[in-house]
């Protein structure tokens, strides 16, 4: 069973990366991880805020490249 999933949200502007992440997480099991790739500057604020509000764990965030990579573990 694969519990790691990827969402490519590059090219999407706020609030679409978070909305698509929320929708994808709904279909996952608790403990599964979702790797979100985004290039929207607002995602730096939006993704951590979304995780805190929804109770998901932001496992990691890589903001060094043009494409930001967030790993979210579903609560």
51 is catalytic: no
Q: Which of 5, 10, 12, 14 is catalytic?
A: 14
Tell the burial category of 16 from Cβ atoms under 10 Å away from its Cβ (0-12, 13-18, 19+).
middle
Catalytic center residues:
14
């Amino acid at each position: 069973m694969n519990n790691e999933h990827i969402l490519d949200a590059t090219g999407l502007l706020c609030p679409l990366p978070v909305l698509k992440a929320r929708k994808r997480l709904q279909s996952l099991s608790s403990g599964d991880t979702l790797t979100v790739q985004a290039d929207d500057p607002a995602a730096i604020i939006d993704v951590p805020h979304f995780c805190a509000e929804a109770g998901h764990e932001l496992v990691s965030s890589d903001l060094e490249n043009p494409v930001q990579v967030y790993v979210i573990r579903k609560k």
